[in-house]
Amino acid sequence: MFAANFDYYRPATVAEAVQLLSTKENAKILAGGHSLIPAMKYRLAQPSALIDIGRIPELSGIRVEGGKLRIGAMTTHAAIAASADVKAHCPLLAEAADKIGDQMVRNRGTIGGAIVHADPAADYPPNLLALGGSVTAVGPNGSRTIDFAGFWTDLFTTALAPNEIVTEVTVNGYGKGTGGAYADLQHPASGYIVVGASAVVTVANGVCSKVSLVIGGATPNPVRASAAEAALTGKAPTAENIAAAAALAANGISNPIGDSFASGDYRVHLAKVLAKRALTQAAARAQ
């Protein structure tokens, strides 16, 4: 199918892009196009104008600042997966980026596009929420930061206003004593996750001093497994303690997604199994 007709704009600056987004009716930002263009071809999205932000240099690149990674919205999944800075300061994010789609998708798809698309089966959201950090958005009234915890608000929906552009994603890095791991079950046809569990564990003096565990794919937005985190915090990362914590990983999941591939009950089961794998690997990497 062909997309409906649209006007095309290619701004050179963020300010110009914001101005176009605010003034052109029914306009949409075009990043890597790997989610938007298919949606347009199926006529699920029919924007009257596309604002291509692919030629705005300051939107691409990765910087390290005070132990945090600052990643431009147009930075591709491939660039994140290959970045020496990401591998050194936040290896979990490099691993997650490397799992997205295939090489062609990773070469074109961007972190900004992926987080704004807010697909429940996307790889970044559970990992970003487990790592902690924020999104920088720029609109006609200036710039604001939105914590990951408040960014994804519903199915394919974010806290971004229609006239705002994501310019940067800031992700907390981690060092010695902390480990991160992502365990997922991918749909064999698409590669998108059915369920994914992302864990970041800090071990000090033989006990887990900080535990972050997030489940993606089971609900419209990633959900923090607070009961499991609390159960493991302050305990030694033994197989028994991790199993007991992982058994609570689905406690925050109500109305799990069910479809022709995996029922809601199966997704709940997967959340616990994958949480155990992610916690085990993250704790091992922390020591």
Query: Residues interacting with ligand FAD, by CB under 6 A?
Result: 28-36, 53, 73, 100-101, 105, 109-110, 112-114, 116-117, 122-123, 165-166, 190-192
CA distance 257 to 196: 13
* Integer Cα distance of 79 and 97 in angstroms: 9
Place of tokens 């994501």: 166
CB of 156 or CB of 266, closer to ligand FAD? 156
Range 121-141 burial, b when 16+ CB lie within 10 A, else e: bbbbbbbbbbbbbbbbbbbee
The nearer residue to ligand FAD, 153 or 287, going by C-beta atoms, is 153
Cβ burial, residue 188 (10 Å; 0-12/13-18/19+): exposed
Please list the residues that pair with 211 across neighbouring strands. 201
Q: 109 or 252: whose CB is closer to ligand FAD?
A: 109
Q: How far is the CB of 54 from ligand FAD (least distance, A)?
A: 9
Question: 59 vs 203, which CB is nearer to ligand FAD?
Answer: 59
270: nearest Cα among 197, 202, 171: 197
Rounded least distance, CB 52 to ligand FAD, Å: 9
Which is closer to ligand FAD, CB of 109 or CB of 237? 109
CB of 184 to ligand FAD, least distance (A): 9
CB of 174 to ligand FAD, least distance (A): 22
> Least distance (Å) from ligand FAD to the CB of residue 120?
10
